[in-house]
Amino acid sequence: MSFSQLGLSEKVLAAVAGAGYTAPTPIQEQAIPHVLSRRDVLGIAQTGTGKTAAFVLPMLTMLEQGRARARMPRTLILEPTRELAAQVEESFVKYGAKQKLNVALIIGGVSFDDQDSKLMRGVDVLIATPGRLLDHHERGRLLLTGVELLVIDEADRMLDMGFIPDIERICKLVPFTRQTLFFTATMPAEIQHITEQFLHTPVRVEVSRPASTVATTTQLLVKTGREPREKRETLRHFIRTAENLKNGIIFCNRKREVALLHRSLLKHGFSAIALHGDMDQSARTAALDQFRKNEVTLLVASDVAARGLDIPDVSHVFNFDVPHHADDYVHRIGRTGRAGRSGVAISIVAPIDQKLVASIEKLIGQTIPWVDGPPPASDEPARPRSRHERNERSERTGRGRRPERSERTERSERTERSPSTPAQPERVAPDAAPAALAPPASPHQPQPDRRQRNENSFDPAHLPAFLMRPVRLKA
């Protein structure tokens, strides 16, 4: 099937031909006719299958008729990250070059006044992240009552980032009669609930099994030690020995680990750049541009780069940290092997990560081969970090740890509790607390653990000093 059989306008077909595309992808072939017929669509497809063009192309055809009004956008596209929103804007610029449409990008990290001036001129297509969109609405600068078509893209990523309450609020602000397009790569129970609530008899378009991986990507597991230094050595070894390494994305679970690994790679002479959520928008955009233009070889990133970014020719993906959620593994390795190209995904597995690997294999329905054979089974629980590991930095710096009792304090307490010390009678106020009348504990009697004490138990070692002073009453 060709694009000319999908019902797109002549201007859109000319733009698609100018971009060099001749045949639609499966998600485009199945979704575009339903979008043009004004049906709600639930699209499920793995990353890199052309989901963006599946809603951009029919929207351009539908928006050829009509005119936008000030502060009242005609269509609204919601994206979870700034990078994805900017990428969708590029698609409208690319395919809508022959149309006079006003496209506005409403994301964080950009001046409110610049965005407000665009909204004031009238917007045909509004591309936004949920938080900044609601900020404009609460300030009275944006009205959503004129939205004819709502697109919710990367819905499962919205769920991971905690945007679902914002999505529910936005869906109640747009007209009930709007058309809704809902695209996701996986279908958790929460996403299923949202589709049942806000989509009206949608057409389900599913071109691949949820949470499936690309067949052209070679997946490998590499065993390593539990120390970060050993993991970094393993990563450097496989970067140096990888075949046909053109470029690669290295994923870490934490932003702090991204910065540490980036500095380590630069120290050892690698061409690398970092990308994580704490960077300002200009730095994030510059990092992606350098990687796209092959000015750097390695991109060290958090999961902000795992969803939907259009970097078509990535040869390798390295999971420096095995993701805590199996769905994230699918999105990470989806950055390679795109558009029919071959790719390699290597995950570095410490002993504590083996059960996480098992959950990934269960999700994707296949066994991932090990390099040099699998390691012995680990008895450690599948958890991100133990309590001791989470507080490791606090213990090293002394924060969050109860100070040690000095030898002098313990010696004085033993003296006070010694039976050889004669007890001195003291006059106690009649309204004193009952606990103050209790006799001190014998030094030979084992002290109960703090967790086992109840509110009626008494231990003078845990009373403030001022409560131990004798109270003198006037005659």
Reported as a single tens digit per residue, the pLDDT across 402-444 is 333 444 444 444 444 444 444 444 444 444 444 444 444 444 5
Q: Where is average pLDDT lowest: 264-273, 287-296, 422-431?
A: 422-431
Percent of the chain with pLDDT over 70: 78
Reported as a pLDDT band with limits 50, 70 and 90, residue 327 is confident
The mean per-residue pLDDT over the stretch 290-307 comes to 87
**What's the pLDDT at 30?**
94
Backbone angles phi, psi at 9, to 5 degrees: -75, 165
Beta bridge pairs of residue 72? 69
Which is higher by pLDDT, 338 or 447?
A: 338
Asked if residues 221 and 366 have their Cβ atoms less than 8 Å apart, the reply is no
Residue 247 has pLDDT above 90, yes or no: yes
The mean per-residue pLDDT over the stretch 14-35 comes to 92
Q: Do domains 3-206 and 217-392 have the same CATH topology?
A: yes
Q: How far apart are the first and last CA of the chain?
A: 107
How far is CA 130 from its chain centroid?
Answer: 15
Asked if residues 124 and 73 have their Cβ atoms less than 8 Å apart, the reply is yes
What's the order of all strands across the beta sheet hosting 41-44?
103-106, 125-128, 75-78, 149-152, 179-184, 41-44, 203-206
pTM over 0.85: no
Q: Is residue 116 packed enough to be buried (19+ CB in 10 Å), middle (13-18) or exposed (0-12)?
A: middle
pLDDT in tens, 275-286: 987 888 788 888
C-beta contacts of 239-246 below 8 A and 24+ residues apart: 239/270, 239/298, 239/318, 242/316, 242/344, 242/346, 244/315, 245/297, 245/315, 245/316, 246/294, 246/297, 246/313, 246/314, 246/315, 246/316
Q: Is residue 141 packed enough to be buried (19+ CB in 10 Å), middle (13-18) or exposed (0-12)?
A: middle
Q: Within 13 Å of residue 243, how many CA atoms lie on the same side as its CB?
A: 4
pLDDT in tens, 99-114: 989 999 999 888 899 9
**What's the pLDDT at 222?**
95
Domain boundaries, the chain: 3-206, 217-392
Reported as a pLDDT band with limits 50, 70 and 90, residue 349 is very high
Q: What is the DSSP track for 405-430?
A: PPHHHHHHHHHHH-TTSPPPP----T
Distance, in Å, from the CA atom of 45 to the CA atom of 211, rounded to the nearest integer, reads 9
- Mean pLDDT of the chain, nearest integer: 81
Q: CA angle 109-111-116, nearest 5°?
A: 125
pLDDT in tens, 177-236: 999 999 987 788 888 888 999 999 999 998 866 566 777 899 999 999 988 899 999 999
Residue 160 has pLDDT above 90, yes or no: no
Comparing C-alpha atoms, which of 336, 387, 340, 380 is closest to residue 357? 380
Q: Which fold has domain 217-392?
A: Rossmann fold (3.40.50)
Q: Which fold has domain 3-206?
A: Rossmann fold (3.40.50)
Do the strands 298-301 and 75-78 form a parallel or antiparallel pair, or are they unpaired?
unpaired
For the stretch 314-352, what's the b/e string if a residue is b when 16 or more beta carbons lie within 10 angstroms of its beta carbon?
A: bbbbbbbbbbebbbbbbbbbbbbbbeeeebbbbbbbbeb
Distance, in Å, from the CA atom of 327 to the CA atom of 333, rounded to the nearest integer, reads 11
Q: Is residue 150 packed enough to be buried (19+ CB in 10 Å), middle (13-18) or exposed (0-12)?
A: buried
pLDDT in tens, 365-394: 899 999 987 766 655 444 444 444 444 344
Residue 404, H or E segment: none
